[in-house]
Structure 1
Amino acid sequence: MASKLTARKVDTAKPGKYSDGGNLYLIVSETGARKWVLRFTWRGRAKEMGLGSAASVPLADAREKAASARRKIAGGLNPIEERKRDGGVPTFGEMADDVREALSAGFRNEKHKAQWKSTLGTYAAPLRAKPVDTINTDDVLAVLKPIWTAKAETASRVRGRIEKVLDAAKAKGLRDGENPARWRGHLDHLLPRPSKLARGHHAAMPYEEVATFIADLRQREAKAALALEFCILTAARSGEVLGMQWSEINFDTKTWTVPADRMKAGREHRVPLSSRAIAILRQIEKLKTGEFVLPGLVRNKPMSNMAMEMVLRRMKVEDATVHGFRSSFRDWAGNVTGFAREVVETALAHVIGDKAEQAYRRSDALEKRRKLMEAWAAYCERRAATNVVSIGERRG
């Protein structure tokens, strides 16, 4: 094994190439010029990185520079490209944070902003430390492939957000060339189409079992159990229920009005409250401690988004989720009742029809939905032994 260089050898070496170990070399030209070079392999290709002239960079400093570059390589970074940061090129993570803040004014709510941060922070984590001008198609594919089929909807959002960050970098003159996260004409040749991917569905309890489940649920005294029953009876999303404030409840009209910034579709949604839903609110009202109907352990914060799921776990319900009860409601309404599809979809706060149809649909069918929700509440009062079937409203 060749011995390491010494300071004297560096000063007296004749023209040639001399190894110091760890792929660090002293190169002496025919003219006597001496320079430091680190050799490494990057994505299957041999690379050389200059570390400066031996006249100005002592042996100890050259070794430290080489060690720093090797650490970057071990961390998945190209040290040559990383050095460009000295010229002011931000990392993908820094650029993503800037883009998120710039776009946040247009986000529907804080939840959307948090989703931007969490998806890029979690799934695009391997990109965060890389200079934004060095990210290529292989980098993007390394992020997307592990989740492309397993978490199709999430993966599609991650891809779109990566594309937006890289587009912003190009607009600021920090990148050149095509966007490696672009779908059409690029990644669509390398990944299966999103429409052909299986989308995840929330496990749902068969609607025939919901009444028996609610009977068991009422044996629990926890406020989270009341929250879950209310969520089931209103067919609402868990986030809408947990963020509910007393100012949104009108006991006189038996209506809960969810503001647009807390709705997935970004539109205000009125929820007709059944007699049982009102009774639950009256019961919770006796313990009123702040603006939130369902306050959490932290002052001025709502109940944890895991509270209702934990009720299911404690009840050993393994084949259903909180969100899945919306599907239970939808299946019941479609199979058991005669309520029009549009009424049921509106009750679920789904957007119906194209933009033209939405423009002409002025009514939210509140009173028709009130009958629907009372019928659902009555169905949920049934016991498994009964044969009563809710008929609802017949189609015209």
Structure 2
Amino acid sequence: MAREINKLPPKAATAITAPGRYSDGGGLYLVVSATGSRKWVFRFRWDGKLRDMGMGGVGNVSLATARGKAAAARLLIGEGKNPLEDKQALKAIPTFGDFADELVAVLSAEWRNDKHKAQWSTTLTKDAAPLRPMRIDRIETSHVLETLKPIWSEKPETASRLQQRIARVLDAAKAKGFRKGENPARWSGHLDHLLPARQKLTRGHHAAMPYGDVPAFVAQLRDRDAIAALALEFLILTAARSGEVRGATWAEFDLDAKVWTVPEGRMKAGREHRVPLSVSALALLAKVMPLTGGKAGAFVFPNQKDASLSDAAFSALFIRMGLDRGAITPHGFRSSFRDWAGEATNFPREVAEAALAHSVGDATEQAYRRGDALEKRRKLMEAWAGFCERRAIESKVTPVSRAKI
């Protein structure tokens, strides 16, 4: 026969004053000490021994709450779990602030720029302040929205970075086993239904073109007979950095495998990066190959002296195109690509980040992710090239001459 529960009267917590242990049934007791303090205790048997687990003081925990905690403990025992050990495990779950600080410390080992670390720290300390004291497994969509909404319209760029970094922290927490379920800070398919579309301004010091304007811009590039225009189009199609494209040599390309391998010495993070080449990127390479014959040591996009293009070549191109250099930068196209991938596609965030040669997750997660998702990224880059050519596909292919750089 089941043990009787809920035996204490509703006002027992305040009405009972004599020292002692008063049973509510089911293992729950009201314990009144000789000094008059009152607390709830759950008593259970584990491995043949009686164990007591505190449920909180009467001043903070009502009888109804204590009964709920006792019921949850009984369920754990029924599943063969020790409620005391489960309670200790929950205590080991860190707060958002502690875990975020730990993650920044791990990631910063790969960052060459101290300013980058400072930006992450500021974002996750100052801007994410409402989340920092919360246990990381208890953060829900409502908490993320409460953090983002005050700055979403007033400081869209700061808010965008904050959303992405909160999502990164929560993803890492899930990889560590501290969270379960979907990420409440993810944008595509979640927050994009709850917040106004993000304004496309600039990212850091790099002005970014809204991704919706990229196809028309690519069409303009294809109207120009210039090495710089081709190099910039290749930069857009591969979502690469300016220096990586300008310094590319034919030795880095395996055209049969459709892969461009940028050596670690030319990468910002100091790690080799493989770039899957879309059909459009391969066609562009075929167009410039006659300039150098594809010789291994030759630059893919040479200037008139067969040296690599300078960064000023892109600035000069923008001037010739009548563009405001303060409103567009080569690096900004990486932001355009990232916004497109996050807002207009269903590709996983980690695939888009890998395409940008960004690390995803903490050191443990990265150790288990041995591959670089090359084939998944190939599908992503092919889709990006198709998007970029939406209004550029009809552009004519014209021979390249060295006369115009």
| Class of the TM-score when normalised by the shorter of the 2 chains | 0.3 to 0.5
Instruction: State the structure with bigger RCO (CA 8 A, min sep 6), 1 or 2.
Output: 2
* TM-score normalized with structure 1 length: 0.47
